[in-house]
Every structure is written in C-alpha cells, then in structure tokens.
Amino acid sequence: MNSFKKFLQRIGLYALELCWPRNCPVCGRSGDRENRHICSACFAKLEWIESGSCCKICETPIATHVDHEFVCSSCVASKPHYDFLRSSLIYSYPIDYVIQMFKYEGSVFFTEELSEILEGTVKAKFPYEEIDLIIPVPLHKNRILKRGYNQSELLATALSHRLNRAVDTVSFIRKADTPQQARLSHEERSENVKGAFKVVRPEYIRARTILLIDDVTTSGATLNECAKVLKQAGASKVWCLTLAKVRD
Ligand SMILES: [Zn+2]
Ligand SMILES: [Zn+2]
C-alpha cells in the first residue's frame, strides 16, 4: 500500500510537472530550455567526458596523447568483466545535485532529460547498432519498496525508447540487500557486492550484447560484479554506461 501511495504521488507530481512550467530545480531561475528542467546556465556547467585519450576499457583518462589503444595499469592488473565502461559526465556540481534529487527525493521528472544525455553518449561512444538489450543495475526489492522506484530502471527504460532497443528489467535481479556502497572503501565495495546479483532467465541473456545502465560510477565494483554474472549466464558482451563518474 505504501509503495502504491508513493506511485500515485509520483504520477501526480509528474502530471503537475508536465502542465506547469517551473523554475530550474538547481538554481531556481525560470526554465529557458523547452521541455527540460535544467536551465541553460546550469546545463553549461556540466563537465562532459570527451572521448579523448583514455583507457579503452574503463575510460580512465591519460595525461599524454596516445594514438595506439591504451589499457590502464589497473585494468591490466585485474581485467574487468565488462568489455568497456563509459560515462557522460564528471560527477560534479550541478549533476551531483540533480542525481541526488532524482535518486533519493522522488524527482523522477528528470528522467527524460537525463536519458537524453545518455542517448548522446551512447551514440558518440558505442557501436550502438549492435546492442540487443538494455538492462539497468537492479535494486533489491526491499530498497524499491522503500524508495518507490529504481532510478537506473527509469533511465534504462527511457533510453530504450530513444534507441528503439528492448529493455529487460526482469531477467537480472539483486538477490542480496547489501549495505549502500557510498559508505564503503574501494576494497569493501567489491566484497560488498560479491554474490549480490542473479540471472533468473538465462535464456534472455545468452548470446546477447547488453548495455548495462547505472546512474553513477564510483569504483566500478558494482558494474564489474553485474558483468561477471551476466557473462557467466552467457551474455556475449557487456557494455556499461553511467550518467556520471566520480573524478579519478
Ligand atoms: Zn539552473
Ligand atoms: Zn582501465
């Protein structure tokens, strides 16, 4: 009942947002970008991650320009299970503030413009015609009951409409209600998510090229564990995309 009430509240808020022009939720100035909430001044402050010289697997930037394909020392020491990981933005103001509102404060009206940012990154950095399936990093059902929604699922679903690709929010689940990664060190993060995920419908995963979506990359431990489990279930490729990456 509680989650149904939250659902109704969200629908109400969303309807209100659609019909009522409003101020930019970040700075409070009146909105000046059609059908978007983040105003042009705030949008101009976003720090985009350009596809320049970086590790071809994890996108860690390198100081000097190289022409050859470069793999960073941490990916050499321990090769990630995902094929590659890309992000749209650096996790800095104002996207950090927007993501906090989107994730924890029910501001689901950001879904469309955040998925628009992801769409741009997919088209710039991925051979996206090859994507078979878009899958969000799942939340445990207890967390969904508490929060009312999975922010990564909202992004993945909106992105799937934009790219005209299937989204699967059922075949891959989080079976363990692990503590939130935000409070843990890098080593603790890997341990914390070990064994937390499960493929429940391997026939939908096998031989697919999967685009895995999450909101923020910190250590990459969650995405790596998800990729491991998806590959074990027979996924042919796992590409990861997040909206923002914590600065290296
Ligand atoms: Zn603004
Ligand atoms: Zn790397």
- pLDDT, residue 95, reads 98
> Strand, helix or coil at 240?
strand
Phi first, then psi, for residue 219 (nearest 5°) are -95, -15
Ligand 1 centroid, distance to 28 Cα (angstroms): 6
Q: How far is the CA of 114 from the centre of ligand 1 (A)?
A: 15
Cis peptide before 94, with omega less than 30 degrees from 0?
Answer: yes
181 residue type, one letter: Q
Domain extent listing, the chain: 48-245
**Ligand 1 centroid distance, CA of 15 (Å):** 21
What pLDDT was estimated at residue 103? 94
Q: What is the mean pLDDT of each run of 10 residues along the chain (248 residues)?
A: 68 61 87 92 96 89 80 94 97 97 94 97 95 97 92 98 97 88 75 91 98 95 96 98 93
According to the model, what pLDDT value does residue 190 have? 81
Instruction: Give the distance (Å) from ligand 1 centre to CA of residue 163.
Output: 28
Question: Which one of the ligands is nearest to 23 CA?
Answer: 1
Q: What's the CA-to-centroid distance between 239 and ligand 2, angstroms?
A: 14
Cα(156) to ligand 1 centroid in Å equals 25
Please tell me the distance between residue 39's alpha carbon and the centre of ligand 2 in angstroms. 34
What confidence score (pLDDT) does residue 13 get? 63
Amino acid 221: pLDDT:
92
CA–CA separation, 181 and 106 (whole Å)? 20
Please give all residues whose CB falls under 5 A of ion ligand 2, grouped by chain where several chains appear. Answer: 55, 57-58, 60, 72, 75
Question: What pLDDT shows up at residue 91?
Answer: 97
Distance between CA atoms of 8 and 28, rounded to whole angstroms?
26
Distance, CA of 161 to CA of 166 (rounded, Å): 8
What is the length of the chain? Answer: 248
Cβ–Cβ < 8 Å for 161, 175: no
| Residue 20, pLDDT score | 55
* Ligand 1 centroid from CA 31, angstroms: 7
- Helical pair 111-125 and 151-163, crossing angle rounded to 10 deg: 60
Q: Say which CATH topology domain 48-245 has.
A: Rossmann fold (3.40.50)
Q: How far is the CA of 130 from the centre of ligand 2 (A)?
A: 22
Tokens of 211: 């685009």
